[in-house]
Every structure is written in C-alpha cells, then in structure tokens.
Structure 1
Amino acid sequence: MRRPVARGIQAALATVAVGAAIVVVGPLTQASAATGGVTGYATQNGGTTGGAGGQTVRATTGTAIHAALCGRASSSTPIIIQVEGTINHGNTTKVSGSSCNTADGVIELKQISNVTIVGVGGGAVFDQLGIHIREASNIIIQNVTVRNVKKSGSPTSNGGDAIGMESSVHNVWIDHNTLFASGGEDAGYDALVDMKAGTNYVTVSYNTLRNSGRGGLIGSSDSDLDNGPVTFHHNLYENIESRTPLLRGATAHIYNNYYVGLAKSGINPRAGGKAKVDNNYFKNSADVLGTFYTDLMGSWQVSGNIFDNVTWTAAGTENHPAGPNPVSNTSISIPYAYSLDPASCVPSVVTATAGAGTGLQVSNGGCTPTSPTAGPTPTSPPTSSPTAGPTPTQSQPSGTNLSIGAGADGSSKASGTSYGNVIDGNLSTYWSPNGATGSVSVKWSSATTVARINIREASGSSIGSWQVLNGDTGAVLNTGSGAGVISFTATSLKKVTFTITSSSGTPRVAEFETYAS
C-alpha cells in the first residue's frame, strides 16, 4: 500500500537530526515559481513541469531537502521544495529511503523525477555545496545561489560543479539562479553548469554565471557525444575564462545572452557540435565563438549579434575563431517558438532579469522586464490550502464578464495565437501555449474582485489539469481539470492566472471570462 506523502515525510524526518528544519506547507499548494514559463528545449520531449501538482514543503537545511525527497510515496511523486537560508556541509547529510538515493555533502537528485527546488523568503544560498542531478528527469532548479563549489582543497562537493548533470538525465530547467566561484581550476574550482553522459532537453535561462575559469560544458570528452539539445537564453556570463559553453557533439540554441569579460574563449562547438547563436551581446572579450583547442571542428549559425570590443586570435592548427567577421557555416532548425530581444537591449534587460533575487522577471520580447504570470517568488508559506474544486461545469454564468476591456498576458504563445484572443469575446480566436503547458492571465489597472472564471475552449482543445492563481501573490485559488466555470473564494486582485499543468494535446483557450460573483 502506498503511504500518504505527508506521513512519508514525517517518517523520514524521524531519522533526521534536530535542526533539519522542514515545514509541510500544504497538500495541494504550489510554489509561486513561474513553472509555466519554461522555454526552449526543456519544453520538448514531453515538457518540464518539475513538482507541479505535488505537495509543497519548506526546507532550511540540506538534510531537510533530502528528507523531503526520501519521504515521498515514490521516487516519481511530484514535490516542490521551497528552500530558505544557507545550505552547507554542516547541515547536509545523507537520508535513506525507498524514494531517494542521497549522500553527504551534496544535494543529490539521483534516480528521481518530478522535483522543483526553488529559493524563497530571504533567499537560498548553497555555500560550497553543489547540486548533483543524476539518472533523473523533470527537474526544475530556480531562484537559488550556488557559490564556491570545489573539486580540490576543502571542503569539496559535486566534483567542483555548482550544478552538474550526468548519466541519463533529461528535461531539466535551470532558471534565475546565481552561480559563481572565486577562481579557476588552479584554485580548486571546476565549472558552473556541466552536462554529460546522456543529458538531454535542458534549458538554462536567466542565470548569472560569474568569476569562474569555466562556465560549463556539454559532453565531458570528445567521445561523450550523446548530449543535448540545450537552450541558453538571457543569461549573464561575467568574468569567465572559457566554456560558455564548450559544446561537444550536441546542438545548442544560444540567444539573448550577455557576455562580459570572457578572457580566453567563449562558445566553443567542437567534435560535431552545433550552435545557433542569435542576438547575443559580447563585450570586452576574446574569441567569443569558434572551435578552440582541437581540430575536431564544430559549426555555428549566427544572426543579429553585437561584438563590442571583442578581439580575435589568428587561426592556427588547433585554433579556429569564427571572427573577426563571423558568418554561418551550418543551418539549425529550432522546433519551438521563441521571442528575440534585439541585441542592442540585451545588456539592460539581462542585467535586470538574470540571477536569483530578481523577482523571476523575464523579458517580454520587447526589451522590457516583466513579472512572471504565475506570481512573484513567495516570501512566506501560504496561510491556507486552496479551495479544491471538482471538474468545472460547462454552464454559462450570468453577470458582467470583467475580462472585456481588461488586459492579458501569459507565459508563452504558439505561433498565430495571441493573449488578447482570450478577452475579445470572439470564440473563433484563441490562445495556445508554446507546448502542452503554459499560463494565460487577465489583468486590470486597479484591484478587481473575482469569484468565478469561465474557461471556454476552442475546437480541438485538450486541457487536462490546471491551477487558478492570484497573479498578485501567487496563491493558488483552485485546482482541477477540464474547462468550464471555476469558482473560488471572492478575491480582490489585479491579475488572475489560469495555468495549464497537463494536456493530452494542444490546449486552445478561446475565452477567459471573469465574474465578480
């Protein structure tokens, strides 16, 4: 018999030393991280939702993180772990259980799936302690700082990688984190984000990576070629010597990143690696694109980049810079929709949005930082569980549809669809997310009381499970499945969000109606 998740966590806690603080926030409560906003290759291969739909817990030690993983009913039971405080070697120990495989001195996400780790409150800092993802899938790491992880010296963790992925890993989203070291390999550090030994369908977005000898790699050797594809977008790379990334064999889509102070080399596709490099801004750097340190060539497709005070070395036996006037030598097809900021505004929009503690802001594709549709980073546990409702009804509600004349936005939109289509009163137009999941919101300029919404699907739609969120606070107002009329406690807000967490095909929302009663 499968034990309830809450009891499982309590049982696991019985084996944990005092101080491994963990709080069960609520059986249905979701973290307010913008999990509906995943973009890039992590949207493919079934998508990346992390712990959406599972229990939310709060942890203030590494041991408590492990206890939360080990207390689940199974290794695939969804869970969102909100982390606050400083996680270090002193409070991170191995916890045993049938749903986990943990270790001392590292956050071990091994042989598990469906997990979100998100920093909340005053912030989450992993001090000299790496996050190791191995034989795992559907993982989200968001809004945390990982600093000074060493592979030599003392203390050591995770082979010196801030975040490392290896051995049959797929569908991972690394988003809005700050990763840094205090030197290079000579000082005991390795990389900030490494992927190897069969790591596939990853998105690295809105992160700050700085002060390291190595940004990261995809493929640990010239024979480790079964990795990727990977998307890197809206990241800040600052004061990095090389590997932004080193790309062996895999395909990477690299757009709207801001590179400052790359000392030796930057994007380095080799051994058949391919990079689509769009609308990035490179500043005060050297050899930012090319195949370096080998004759096993890679290739690149370039468009819209700005090279500001970039120097290029001469071509040589094992030195193949793309510059000084980079041109494309391959063509790469991208299977998902995405919005490009002009490279000219990349420094300002990336500086405002990248890293932990930036409110999970994203670019709107027009050089303007915007708040996530699923709400801001939570600052305290929700005070109550959401109103759990049945599958919504299909009857048309009475009263005034407050969505007419309001505004709309969302996490993503499929080609040919628009957020505004859900508030135009026209059932022949609709919005679809860029993938099987996503969020759409109705918003007002002043607080508006809403107690019911009506989700009206277009023909062929296939909405599965969903959440209704208070877009101002991230609080969950209701959960369920299918479209129709959804009721919840009357709430005064400026934004209400409908987040689709699963579907059997392509969701199509024709109208997102809102009512006061």
Structure 2
Amino acid sequence: MTKTAAARLTAAGATLALAGALGVTALWTHDAHAATGSATGFATQNGGTTGGAGGETVRATTGTQIHAALCDRAASDTPIVIEVEGTINHGNTSKVSGSSCNTADDVIELKEISNVTLVGIGAGALFDQLGIHIRDSSNIIIQNVHVRNVKKSGSPTSNGGDAIGMEKDVSNVWVDHVTLEASGGEDDGYDALFDMKNNTRYVTLSYSILRNSGRGGLVGSSDSDTGNGPVTYHHNLYQNIDSRAPLLRAGTAHTYNNHFVGITKSGINSRVGAQVKVDHNYFEDSKDVLGTFYTDKGGDWEVDGNIFDNVTWSSPGSDNNPAGPNPTSTTTVAIPYSYDLDDASCVPNLLAATAGANKGNQVSDGSCTPQNPDPTDPTEPTPDPEPTDPEPTDPPTGTNLSIGAGSDGSSKASGTSYGDVRDGDMSSFWSPSGSTGRISVKWGSDTTVSSINVREAADAVGNIGSWRVVNNDTGAVLATGSGAGVITFPATTLRKINFEITGSTGTPKVAELETYGG
C-alpha cells in the first residue's frame, strides 16, 4: 500500500544521510510504484521480464539520483523500482560509484545490473539530450519516459547518439509507453532511437512513439552481428523516419499493430536471413515499408492483415528487394506467445490515444478500445453490432455523399481504382488484391452518415461475403453482416468511413460505395 505523505517524509529523512554521503540531493522512498501492466511479446519468454517488482521503490528527480539508487542496492541484482519525475539532463547526471553499479557521467547507465524498473511518474520524466544505455544487463523495464535529441556529434553528446541503446549480453527488456525523438538525421548529429546489438535478446517495444529521426533503430550492428533477437514491436507509432523502422540483421521479429507514417526511404528492412512477421500494421504515406534494402543479403517476411495506404515502392535491383506493391509472404514465422490483435484499420486512431509517454499507460485488449491495464473494475468490451443482411433492392433516398469525396483502401487489384467507387459509373470498380480488403470514402470536414449502399459490379454479384462498417475516426464498428446492398446504422458524424470485406465467395468488385446522411 502506498504510504501517506507523512510517511514519505519520514522515509525521506531516513535516506538523507545516504544522499549526503553520495553528494546528491535527497531521494524519496516508498513501497508502491507507478509501473503498470505486465510485459508482452518476446520479453515474456526466457523466464519473463518483471523488472524491479518486489523491490524497494525510490524516487529520483536527477540523473545522479538515478545512479545513486542503483549504487545503494545491496547487490547488482537486488530488485528496485526507480520513479522519475522532472527533467534529466547533462547538468544533473554524474557518475556515482558503488559495488552494485557501474555508472558514468552524461548518460543513464544501466550496466552490469539486473531487476530494475525505470518509470516516469507525476508531471512526467524528460531525458533531455541524455540517452539510456543498457549493457551487460537483464530483466529491465523502462516505462512512461520521454527521451529527446540525444547526439553523437556536436554538443552535448550522450550514448553514441542513441535514445535507448542496448549492447553486449542484454536480455529480457520491456520498453513501454515511451516517446523517443530526434530533430534530424546523422548530418544533424543524431544516430538511432532504439538499437539492439551484440547479443541483445528477448526484447519488446510497445505503445511507444518514435519520430523525427533519420534512423528508427536496428537489430545487429553489422552483417556479422547476428546473435540478437527475438524482438517484438507492437502498438508503436513510427512517424517521420527516414529508415530502419527497424533494420533487422538475422534473428526473429514480430511487428504487429504498429502505425508507420512518413517513412521516406525504407521501413522494415529484413536482411541477412532475418525473419519477421508483419501482422495487422497500418502503413501510410510512406515508401518501401517492407523488404530487403541496400544489400544483396536478403531476409524474409510473413505478412497478414496489413493496410497499405498511399505507399510507394521502388523497383527491384541487385541491392533492393521491396516486398510491394503487393506484399506476399516468403516464410512462416512461429510466435510462441499469445497476444491480442487489433484490426489494422483502427490502429492509427488507437495509437493516437495510447502510444507514447504521459498517456496514462493505456492499452487495448484487441477490441480497438483504449483501456487502463489491470483495471480494478473490469467490464466486458462492447460487442460488435448484431449482424444484418442488407436489402439490395431498396436504395436510400437523398444525396450520395460519395460524389465529390475522396477514397482510399487497403489494396487494389491491377486495373482498378479507389476512385471508381464514387464516380457514379457502374462499369468501373475497385477490387482488392486478394479475397478481402478495405475500401473507404473520406471527406475534408465532419460529415454525418447513416447508411451506405454497396453496389457490386454486374459480373461479381454475390461475391462479397462477410463485412464490417467502421468509423475510421474512432475505430468503432457501426455494422456487421454479409452480402452487398443497403446498410443502415445510427447517424454518425465522421470524416472517413470504412467498408471492410472480411470474407468472400469470389473476387469482390465494388462498383459504387454510396453514402447517405441522416
């Protein structure tokens, strides 16, 4: 149970002598901590990742205090939770010595230690131009912190320019709900946001934001550094990244329910025999988001349920093997853990509400709805609406709002176009590249819609099987059912509506996706 403020003051007094001996300001200790949830993905394997659970909780407002908390433990593996609040920078981060630590100036050094949780609390923990370095360590949790503008050249420098860098015999690390960002690429003095090197294994990065950097991160520092992984990346936003989102040299990776937007050069780069399962991600306004790039030493991928929204692909070459424009699997990747999988169509809005530091550490249970981890009063998720069978012979009246609107989708078969579903012409149509897919109508301002009319091409009537109608703005399911025709639902104000075909009896061909107001 968390101590009262009076009890915390007593605990603070008990540690004042220690803080003075270390040459730092006082640390505050108490029993409970703000870390929430449990590790996910590959961090659950190899014995699991629990961080400092069960150990003392210490509060720190400077980098030196973080180092002091590590050094004051009875041993380098004594569990500890370090709650951080405030700005950690070069001016307040110095080396502290002790038998249970190995720290350094101007970097948060988690070296030769284990069983540690570092978690942001209160108004937030900002690591400003100061990186977090994990080396020769295990069972580490980093949660709810913001790391920005860590440089490898210029001034000041820290951690080789990595926001979070792991190297040399690191295992079982869970990094969750963090924001990692730079203000440019290598020419501007920055390196990567999230790197794994030299035997770094069983890592999960979840519900985090990686943005405004030339390099997202890599697994393996060179073609000979092949002993890293497995690693899970899930529910992360990669935004305005040039490349390495991530770069994988050998090993196994699982990327699911991530949102990639503004990838300018290359995204998931599977090389040197790497195997990656690319699972229900949303790729948007990006280039070459999956493949093998800049080398002839190829890797493989398994793709399932992804959405490619305005993604461009370069031409294949001797050192360039993009997976698109119609990505198909080249391998099968076994995933040893269970996980809740959100539909790709709701990922952008879901992550806008949950990913990054200072968002309340909210997660999804696979229903596309943000929720607090380990809720004290759990409730059943709202079920999808009861399936309905539309009536194709009774079209709605009024103005077809699709005329003059925009449209996009998950994929399109050769010779078809997203725009064909809103041109009023039954002789043209959109068809997905496979048996399922998404077609959407979108507007530049709020628009109220209460029904849609799905009209199949004449030679494909009856091919559409099961479907969902989804409010793209919120991820809410408006209706489910089977077969084409008129679909009604409560009037909803939105900017983009999705018609998702989840099953078919033949190649779907949507000639018109008409939309109507209330």
TM-score under structure 1 normalisation?
A: 0.70
Query: Identity, % of aligned pairs?
Result: 69
Residue of structure 2 in register with 1:22 after alignment: 27
Residue of structure 1 in register with 2:507 after alignment: none
**Aligned ranges for residues 23-422 of structure 1 at < 5 Å?**
23-25=28-30, 29-34=31-36, 36-373=37-374, 407=378
**Aligned ranges for residues 440-459 of structure 1 at < 5 Å?**
none
Evaluate the alpha carbon distance shift between residue 268 and residue 212 of structure 1 in structure 2; reply closer, same or farther with a 3 A threshold. same
Other structure's SS at 1:326 match = coil
Q: Give the number of equivalent residue pairs.
A: 371
Structure 1 contact 33–374 (Cα < 8 Å) conserved = no
Structure 2 distance, partners of 1:210, 1:328, is: 28
Post-superposition CA distance 1:386-433 (Å, at most 9, x none): xxxxxxxxxxxxxxxxxxxx85689xxxxxxxxxxxxxxxxxxxxxxx
Structure 2 contact 265–287 (Cα < 8 Å) conserved = yes
Structure 1 distance, partners of 2:240, 2:14, is: 45
Evaluate the alpha carbon distance shift between residue 119 and residue 190 of structure 1 in structure 2; reply closer, same or farther with a 3 A threshold. same
Evaluate the alpha carbon distance shift between residue 409 and residue 151 of structure 1 in structure 2; reply closer, same or farther with a 3 A threshold. farther
Structure 1 distance, partners of 2:153, 2:180, is: 18
Structure 1 distance, partners of 2:336, 2:52, is: 25
Question: What amino acid sits opposite 2:315 in the alignment?
Answer: A
- TM-superposed CA distance for 1:8, in Å, is 11
Post-superposition CA distance 1:63-113 (Å, at most 9, x none): 000000000010000000000000000000000000000000000000000
Structure 2 distance, partners of 1:374, 1:164, is: 32
**Aligned ranges for residues 457-468 of structure 1 at < 5 Å?**
none
Question: What amino acid sits opposite 1:296 in the alignment?
Answer: K
Structure 1 distance, partners of 2:176, 2:378, is: 27
Evaluate the alpha carbon distance shift between residue 21 and residue 7 of structure 1 in structure 2; reply closer, same or farther with a 3 A threshold. closer
Other structure's SS at 1:339 match = coil
Other structure's SS at 2:193 match = strand
Structure 1 contact 60–83 (Cα < 8 Å) conserved = yes
Structure 2 contact 52–79 (Cα < 8 Å) conserved = yes
Structure 2 contact 174–203 (Cα < 8 Å) conserved = yes
Structure 2 distance, partners of 1:21, 1:244, is: 40
Other structure's SS at 1:191 match = coil
Other structure's SS at 2:22 match = coil
- TM-superposed CA distance for 1:146, in Å, is 0.2
Other structure's SS at 1:96 match = coil
Post-superposition CA distance 1:358-400 (Å, at most 9, x none): 000001201100011168xxxxxxxxxxxxxxxxxxxxxxxxx
Residue of structure 2 in register with 1:13 after alignment: 19
- TM-superposed CA distance for 1:30, in Å, is 2.9
Post-superposition CA distance 1:323-352 (Å, at most 9, x none): 000000001110000111000000011111
Evaluate the alpha carbon distance shift between residue 8 and residue 116 of structure 1 in structure 2; reply closer, same or farther with a 3 A threshold. farther
Across the aligned residues of Structure 1 and Structure 2, the Cα RMSD in angstroms comes to 1.8
Structure 1 contact 8–73 (Cα < 8 Å) conserved = no
Structure 2 distance, partners of 1:407, 1:184, is: 44
- TM-superposed CA distance for 1:6, in Å, is 9.9
Structure 1 contact 9–68 (Cα < 8 Å) conserved = no
Structure 2 distance, partners of 1:87, 1:276, is: 36
Structure 2 distance, partners of 1:280, 1:206, is: 13
Post-superposition CA distance 1:450-485 (Å, at most 9, x none): xxxxxxxxxxxxxxxxxxxxxxxxxxxxxxxxxxxx
Structure 2 contact 106–158 (Cα < 8 Å) conserved = yes
Q: Which has the larger radius of gyration?
A: 2
Evaluate the alpha carbon distance shift between residue 409 and residue 224 of structure 1 in structure 2; reply closer, same or farther with a 3 A threshold. farther
Other structure's SS at 1:101 match = coil
Structure 1 contact 12–68 (Cα < 8 Å) conserved = no
- TM-superposed CA distance for 1:12, in Å, is 5.0
- TM-superposed CA distance for 1:312, in Å, is 0.1
Structure 1 distance, partners of 2:352, 2:220, is: 29
Other structure's SS at 1:14 match = helix
Structure 2 distance, partners of 1:142, 1:220, is: 25
TM-score under structure 2 normalisation?
A: 0.70
Structure 2 contact 34–121 (Cα < 8 Å) conserved = no
Structure 2 contact 134–165 (Cα < 8 Å) conserved = yes
Unmatched 5+ stretches in structure 2: 1-10, 382-518
Q: Which has the higher contact order (CA 8 A, sep 6+)?
A: 1
- TM-superposed CA distance for 1:175, in Å, is 0.3
Question: What amino acid sits opposite 1:240 in the alignment?
Answer: I
Structure 2 distance, partners of 1:78, 1:6, is: 19
Evaluate the alpha carbon distance shift between residue 304 and residue 89 of structure 1 in structure 2; reply closer, same or farther with a 3 A threshold. same
Post-superposition CA distance 1:259-293 (Å, at most 9, x none): 00000000001001111000000000000000000
Other structure's SS at 1:85 match = strand
